[in-house]
Amino acid sequence: PPDDPWYGDGPEAQPGSVTPEQMTRMVVAFNDAGIKDRGERLERVRQVTGRQVESSKELSFLEAARVLKEVGK
């Protein structure tokens, strides 16, 4: 039903639902991958998510998971 928050996209797909743990893991993953420049990081996020963001805080939980998967390769 449409009033169910887990129906459809769900809260984990909502922009800004990235967790503090995911944000910390992204910093570590980018550093481990040698990507230390903020602009380069945001460009990589755009490539993975398909949308422009000004901060990783704008990511959804699911987008952050995809970024972590891709950067960790």
Query: Mean pLDDT for the chain?
Result: 90
Output the pTM of the full model: 0.85
23: burial class by Cβ within 10 Å (0-12, 13-18, 19+)?
middle
pLDDT at position 11: 80
Report whether 67 contacts 45 (CB < 8 A). yes
* Calpha distance 47→52 (Å, rounded): 9
Residue 1 pLDDT exceeds 60 = no
Tell me the one-letter amino acid at 43.
E
